[in-house]
């Protein structure tokens, strides 16, 4: 959220790319692309952001390589700047001639999907303080906490939760 607000202070429009949109109901991506878009829109509205300045696009699950830049261009309106902390994304877009900047610092140790999902999976209600209230409400409406708990309880490699 803070990153988008920062970008909106610098640019007229911001394109938010929902990656791995073809994946859902997995520990890493428990929500569908549509559910993720709904969460983003609710969070932005709650913060009072002008949704007419934010374009949300989905990108299917891709191998991260220079060819991924081509797909981002296909699925997005024209853009000139990429904002990312991911060094691989930084490299491939820089190699394709895009300006790449890092977002301002924020508490990434807490405001990270994997951390929030693990809190949900373990039954720790503190996840709610890291998520905007309308998003908490939506996750509860769709049975998202139960979904995350079920996905993590299937004991998939690397997704164990001990309580």
What pLDDT is attached to residue 112?
Answer: 79
Q: Residue 162: what pLDDT?
A: 45
What is the spatial distance between Cα 160 and Cα 11, in angstroms, rounded to a whole number?
Answer: 41
For residues 79 and 14, what is the distance between their CA atoms, to the nearest angstrom?
A: 9
Each domain of the chain, given as residue ranges in start order, spans 2-153
| pTM over the 0.75 mark | yes
CA atoms within 13 A on the CB side of 70: 5
Residue with tokens 């409406």: 141
Architecture of domain 2-153: 3-Layer(aba) Sandwich (3.40)
Per-run averaged pLDDT (10 residues), the chain, 163 residues: 91 94 92 97 96 94 82 94 93 96 76 88 95 98 97 67 45
Task: List Cα–Cα distances, 99 to 39, 42, 43, 65, in angstroms.
Answer: 28, 29, 27, 17
3-state helix, strand, coil in the chain (%, to 5): 50, 10, 40
């Amino acid at each position: 959220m803070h990153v988008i607000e920062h970008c909106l202070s610098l640019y007229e429009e911001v394109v938010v790319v929902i990656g791995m949109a073809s994946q859902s109901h997995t520990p890493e991506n428990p929500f569908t692309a549509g559910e993720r878009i709904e969460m983003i829109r609710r969070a932005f509205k709650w913060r009072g952001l002008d949704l007419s300045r934010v374009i949300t696009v989905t990108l299917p699950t891709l191998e991260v390589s220079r060819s991924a830049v081509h797909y981002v261009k296909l699925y997005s309106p024209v853009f000139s700047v990429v904002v990312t902390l991911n060094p691989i994304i930084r490299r491939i877009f820089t190699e394709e001639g895009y300006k790449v900047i890092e977002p301002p610092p924020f508490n990434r140790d807490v405001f990270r999907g994997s951390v929030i999902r693990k809190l949900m999976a373990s039954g720790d209600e503190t996840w709610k303080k890291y998520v905007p209230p309308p998003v908490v409400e939506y996750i509860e409406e769709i049975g998202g906490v139960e979904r995350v708990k079920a996905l993590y309880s299937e004991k998939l490699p690397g997704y164990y939760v001990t309580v």
